[in-house]
Chains A and B, each alone.
Chain A
Amino acid sequence: MTPILRVECVAKSYGGRRVLSAASLRAVPGEFRVLFGRNGMGKSTLLKIAAGRIQPDGGSVHFFGETALSVRLPALAARGLFYLPDHDLLSPAFTVRQQLTMVQRQFPGGDILAAAERLGLTARLDQRPQTLSGGERRRAEFACALVRQPRCLLADEPYRGVSPLDADVLTAALQSLVSQGTAVVVTGHEVPTLLDAADHVTWCTDGTTYELGPPALARQHDMFRREYLGMAT
């Protein structure tokens, strides 16, 4: 299927330190893609570029086949992208319900109560995010994504600090979006969880990316096994 989002050969440096030199990323409708990489290899930078949160030094971003010289999240969001950053998405200034309602009013279609029930948040809707546990905050962010019903979801380390049970709930939510045709790209280090759930693996290392294909093939990739999974070949 044609990718809904293509990031082609992007480069990015921070203060003279080159983080990405020629990295690419694709998000395909109905596919759960995972982006692996060691810490500091540029996964979050690549996702931020894809989401229009930062601008690349070189390369291009194509969304719905359109190339933008300078993509910004608000414009991409209006066209169906939803981005979960590697820090809390929800503002401590509003309750979870208020923020879910903001999303629903902006992009009608989603059901707040159904999303909250699915993620076990019904009793937490009128609380502010800072009063929730880390796992509950992640689930509240996923509830936002379910209410939004995006065409493309980019999630940066959404499993950080969550228990295995919460991780299963998050994975089920991601898979429900994928089954509705959403293009999902997730980063993280939860190898067993992500390899079990993913349709495709991309590996980010040394400023570039390798498309490893389905998890079964990725598991057999010598360099990936040796340099990321830490397994003897």
Chain B
Amino acid sequence: MLPNQLVVHAYLRRAATLWIVVRASLSVLFVLAGVDALRINGLTMVGVVLLCGALGALESYRHREGALLGNLSVTPPMLGALLLAPALAGELVLRLLVTHTK
């Protein structure tokens, strides 16, 4: 059973906000380290996506949402997908933009 739109939107919105905050914070660190924050390599990109997913899961754990999500029939893999999707999409869009503005 797939989660309804309201659940999907709520968790996608949370994950997207988290990605923006994480990406902005990391970009500052990259700049300070003399690295082009928009041209990160594939491995770093995967790391950013996984970091966002882990922080999203931590946020859900902090709010003790396990029982609520279980009652809504949302499985851990579904939640994982919702938490990873915005970060993955955001990173891919950034990569596309950088590639096309060369």
Contacts and interface: CB of A to CB of B under 8 A. Distances in A.
Same complex origin of A and B: yes
Interface of A: 51-53, 72-75, 77-78, 82-85, 87-94, 98-99, 101-103, 105-106, 144, 148
A102 B73 contact: no
Interface of B: 1, 3-7, 10, 14, 63-75
Contact of A78 (B4, B69, B73): B73
Nearest to A73: B70
Nearest to A93: B63
Contact of B73 (A74, A94, A101): A74
A103 B14 CA distance: 19
A103 B70 contact: no
B21 to A, nearest CB: 15
A77 B72 contact: yes
* Most chain A CB inside 10 Å of its own CB: which residue of B1, B3, B73, B74: B73
A98 B65 CA distance: 14
13 contacts: A53-B70, A72-B70, A73-B71, A74-B74, A75-B73, A75-B75, A77-B71, A85-B67, A89-B71, A90-B68, A91-B63, A94-B10, A105-B6
B74 to A, nearest CB: 6
Contacts of A98: 6, 10
Contact of B71 (A82, A87, A92, A93): A82
B67 A148 contact: no
A106 B7 contact: yes
B70 A106 contact: no
Contacts of B65: 91, 93
B67 A103 contact: no
Contacts of B66: 53
B4 A105 contact: yes
A89 B65 CA distance: 7
Nearest to A130: B63
A98 B67 CA distance: 16
* Most chain A CB inside 10 Å of its own CB: which residue of B5, B68, B69, B74: B68
A83 B63 contact: no
Given A74-B72, A98-B10, 13 more contacts: A53-B66, A73-B67, A73-B71, A75-B75, A83-B67, A85-B67, A87-B64, A87-B67, A89-B71, A103-B71, A105-B6, A106-B3, A148-B71
B4 A106 contact: yes
